[in-house]
Chain A
Amino acid sequence: MGEAENIGPGLSRTLVVDLSAGSYFTACKPGMTGTGIGQAPFTVTPSSAADAATNAPGEADLVARIDTANTNYASYVKDQIGQLVTGTAAFAAAYTAGDDNTARGLYAATRAHWERVETVAESFGDLDPKLDLREADLEEGQDWTGWHAIEKDLWPADAEAGFAAYPAAERARLAGLLVADTATLNEKVQPLTFTLAQQTNGAIGLLDEVASGKVTGEEEVWSHTDLWDFQANVDGARVLYAGVRDVLVQKDAALAATLDTRFAALQTLLDTQRVGDGFVLYTDLSTGTVKGLADQVNALAEPLGRLTAALVL
């Protein structure tokens, strides 16, 4: 029916379960084996006709939908990382060849594939720092590689005095590592499958990324292409949400309605900052515009935070 695990001695934890009418008992199983100690019986009576009704329609149907959502999301991740591999190759080639304009033009659009599945990509603890570390995140003496190291070289305008463009050998090294690490990432995502909770928490995590890094302009401190990442995080969250929306509508229609409205409102607002294929640079946004975006991110992230609890039963 339900369980709470990993409860240390002397701690208490509230177990919340959704039960149909009937007789039940609770038990504690130290070490997770045996019939349990301290059994306590209790009875559940129907709380309302509505509750009885929502639980009724085919559990099997639900399981099937959740299954489909998992499969679809796994394909989406593979597709995005596949495109990241292709885009990275072109970007690395231009950068190594010294074609800075082409490299700059590819930078944000290629990174979007990473940002769309960022919570998955950065779940590989060793690859994430190699590919996506910002200068501010470096430890003393750490080798700085990945997108942002190259970003600084391509957009040195805000760099500290005395910053020298990387020599050709360093460019080649960074580009080579970027391509190689992205290939490893691609291998690692192939066998992945996703539970429902991983999907819902992924959506929540992507919005957290927006709130903590993108809407503050901290992600792309040299290129100021934060809104590209912002859009990509939101894209990824929307895909995750769309995958589980059917199930949510059955379980909590009000939350689904709120999320529909808030996703749409955020997109509408973001669209006002579009320029051509891309967006206004972060440094060209007024404080008022940034606050408007931040408010709208809060407006979505707050109900989105309830998605896992609403779905994972």
Chain B
Amino acid sequence: MKGGDSRKRKNGPFPRAEGAETPLSREEGDGQADAGANASATLPAVGAPAEAPRGISRRGLFGLAGAGVAGVGLGIAADRGVQALAAAGAPAAGSTVYPFYQEHQAGIVTPAQDRLHFAAFDLAPGATRADLISLLQDWTTAAAALTAGHDIGDFGAVGGSYDAPPEDTGEAFGLPPAGLTITVGFGPTLFTTSAGVDRFGIASARPDALAELPHFPGDQLDDARSGGDLCIQACADDPQVAVHAIRNLSRIAFGRAAIRWSQLGFGRTSSTSTSQATPRNLFGFKDGTANVKAEQPAVVDEQVWVGAGDGPAWLAGGSYLVARRIRMTIETWDRTALREQETVFGRTKGDGAPLSGGTEFTEPDFAATGKDGAPLIDRASHMRLAHPAQNNGVQLLRRGYNFVDGNDDLGRLEAGLFFISYQRRPSQFTTVQLALARHDAMNEYVRHVGSALFAVPPGAARGSYLGAALFA
């Protein structure tokens, strides 16, 4: 025994059996239940379940096709949140819904939401190709429901049998969709394990570029925070909604895949749309100024989306995701003079203007020099080294988040930047990171402790699932 009484099951280990409710013979197949009319599937005498607000309630509204081995009943996709939202009239705060079934996965050029929960998964030992496919199908169905603001499962958080654990964990019950996006990626080890095993018969479909990133000078990578067979990036404007997504998706995966590592991000460090104000990272600098933005479709096509001729066809329209957990030694940084801080980035701390002059969005002039002939934008500054002009025109779509995971044993904040970038080729990241790792003045204040690379397949078509073309 452990934990005294607190761990006893609610009714003691043997709750009485009388009065136990029974599972409803499942609503048939196609999820025809009406998103707005919660009461309709319920026997009237015992009352309707609590109404969630405005007809975009988080309730499970899915049929039961293919529930099979999944931990919870997952049905065929019925992406009705968007319709429900449209019917509900004027959007309220948090009601943003990004369509799930699209050409490209959402969560890349989508205006960067405020919060992140990112998780990397490893497939279970002994998992089969069928397990992997069913997992991706179940994730797709659940992701469509979650991003539309629904609970997962047939009966959701509170509508199911009184004698079964609820299908949906419930902490997002009644919350609006909050702009949730769910983005799924495939790591190199999904195709071939480090021991060279092709577990799922997809080794030959691995793009050459999907290989472990090289070791960069200064890397202090922790294996337990690196790599992974699969990843899910959940971004939302409400942290509870993002965490709910990862929690439920990992619950669905039990037995087929388990979390390897995960990371919460509490604030965005990037803008991916010109409609957004530039946020700040934990060094206090505006971050995302010169990022690739959704409003530059030509640049996005050139730099972010994998082209049809780039490699295996299944990845066309997808992208590569690099994740780096970068710890900041902020205590040291905070003792650094403002002059030094601005020199490190090559921008002003207040407005984020380049030190060569102008305002935030003025193009930097790397040739401009000061009175002693030294460049106004230091040669070792982060911006100069990362700029396309220094990197054969290479650009990245950055989508990182600030994190503070408590503190370390010395009482220092366990803080940093969870760097995420999307690019058409991993070599874009490698080029920039190599330049930074060698020369960046910022290195004195950061340490890369986690690293992962994933191929992000294109969006799923309605009725299909993420990554389907890989298994065709």
Residues of A within 8 A of B (CB): 2-7, 11-19, 26-28, 38-40, 42, 47-48, 51, 118-120, 122-123, 128-129, 132-134, 136-137, 194-198, 201-202, 205, 208, 212-213, 218-219, 254, 257-258, 262, 265, 291-292, 295-296, 298-303, 305-306, 308-310, 312-313
Contact = CB atoms under 8 A, between A and B. Distances in A.
Contact of A213 (B2, B4, B43, B126): B2
B49 A202 contact: no
B69 A16 contact: no
B17 interface: yes
B13 A219 contact: no
Interface in B45-80: 45-50, 67-69, 71
Nearest to B158: A14
Contacts of A17: 21-22, 24, 43
Contacts of A6: 19
Given A14-B49, A123-B13, A258-B68, 15 more contacts: A12-B47, A14-B158, A15-B45, A16-B160, A16-B161, A18-B25, A47-B25, A120-B14, A196-B17, A219-B1, A299-B255, A303-B255, A305-B165, A309-B163, A310-B164
A13 B50 CA distance: 9
A17 B23 CA distance: 6
A49 to B, nearest CB: 12
Contacts of A132: 1
Contact of B45 (A28, A202, A218, A302): A28
Query: Which one of A16, A136, A303, A310 has the greatest number of beta carbons of chain B within 10 Å?
Result: A16
B40 to A, nearest CB: 12
B162 A4 contact: yes
Given A16-B24, A197-B20, A298 B47 contact: no
A189 B68 CA distance: 38
Contacts of A129: 1, 4
Contact of A312 (B20, B68, B69): B20
16 contacts: A6-B19, A14-B159, A15-B43, A15-B45, A16-B22, A17-B22, A18-B22, A28-B45, A47-B28, A122-B13, A123-B14, A128-B1, A137-B3, A298-B254, A309-B161, A309-B163
A150 to B, nearest CB: 15
A303 B46 CA distance: 28
A302 B164 contact: no
A186 B251 CA distance: 39
Contacts of A118: 1
A133 B1 contact: yes
B47 A202 contact: no
Contacts of A300: 255
Contact of A7 (B3, B12, B46, B67): B46
A71 to B, nearest CB: 16
Given A212-B2, A219-B2, A308-B163, A40 B69 contact: no
B299 interface: no
The main secondary structure of chain B at its interface with chain A is: loop
B13 A120 contact: yes
A245 to B, nearest CB: 17
Interface string B139-172: 0000000000000000100111111110000000
Given A12-B47, A16-B161, A302-B71, A3 B19 contact: yes
B339 interface: no
Contact of A137 (B4, B16, B164): B4
B15 A201 contact: yes
Nearest to B48: A12
Contacts of A309: 22-23, 160-161, 163-164
A4 B19 contact: yes
A202 B15 CA distance: 10
A308 B164 contact: yes
A290 to B, nearest CB: 12
A219 to B, nearest CB: 6
B261 to A, nearest CB: 11
Which 6 residue pairs spanning A and B have beta carbons closest together?
A26-B45, A299-B255, A309-B164, A12-B47, A197-B17, A302-B71
Given A212-B2, A254-B68, A18 B254 contact: no
Given A15-B43, A26-B46, A122-B13, A4 B1 contact: no
B50 A12 contact: yes
B446 interface: no
B2 A136 contact: yes
Contacts of B7: 208, 212
Query: Which one of B42, B49, B69, B163 has the greatest number of beta carbons of chain A within 10 Å?
Result: B163
Contacts of B308: none
B307 to A, nearest CB: 38
A219 B3 CA distance: 10
A26 B69 contact: no
A205 B21 contact: no
Interface string B253-267: 011101000000000
A12 B165 contact: no
Contacts of B69: 254, 257-258, 303
Nearest to B1: A132
Nearest to A313: B22
B371 interface: no
A134 B3 CA distance: 8
B44 interface: yes
B28 to A, nearest CB: 6
Interface string B163-187: 1110000000000000000000000
Contacts of B28: 47-48
A300 to B, nearest CB: 8
A135 to B, nearest CB: 10
Contacts of B16: 195, 197
A16 B23 contact: yes
